[in-house]
């Protein structure tokens, strides 16, 4: 059975962009850019944390492999630190995450 959506109800739904603007400002504003950066940090942190757990590695074990402190890994996995690209690749390589360049 296919249900027909009520256009009036649909029109009353909040749009994501409107909610983001209300809370973090319009695109291009410093507040919105900061939100975007934090969202990306959390996204990549989750990828790294999930992969580490898949491999059944502790934060301490991963930190030792890349020559960092366990607290650094904890900060990265919470998205609390502005990770350098070189450290991101060290962690990724230690976790067996490979990147492929596509120039098309």
Domain ranges of the chain: 25-90
Angle at alpha carbon of residue 95, lines to 84 and 45, rounded to 5°: 50
Mean predicted confidence (pLDDT) in 12-37: 91
Please state, in angstroms and rounded to a whole number, the distance separating the CA atoms of residues 99 and 97: 7
Is residue 59 within 8 A of residue 70, CB to CB? The reply is: yes
Half-sphere exposure of 18 (CA within 13 A, CB side): 5
Mean pLDDT lowest among 9-13, 15-19, 40-44, 90-94:
9-13
> What is 25-90's CATH number?
1.10.260.40
Is residue 53 within 8 A of residue 45, CB to CB? The reply is: no
Residues listed for the chain: 104
- Under the banding of pLDDT at 50, 70 and 90, the label for residue 78 is very high
**Residue 67's pLDDT is what?**
97
């Amino acid at each position: 059975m296919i249900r027909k959506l009520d256009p009036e109800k649909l029109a009353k739904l909040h749009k994501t962009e409107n909610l983001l603007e209300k809370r973090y400002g319009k695109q291009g504003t410093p507040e919105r850019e900061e939100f975007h950066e934090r969202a990306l940090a959390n996204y990549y942190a989750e990828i790294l944390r999930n992969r580490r757990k898949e491999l059944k590695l502790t934060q301490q074990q991963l930190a030792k492999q890349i020559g960092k402190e366990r607290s650094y890994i904890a900060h990265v996995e919470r998205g609390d630190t502005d990770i350098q690209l070189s450290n991101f690749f060290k962690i990724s390589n230690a976790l067996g995450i490979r990147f492929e360049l596509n120039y098309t």
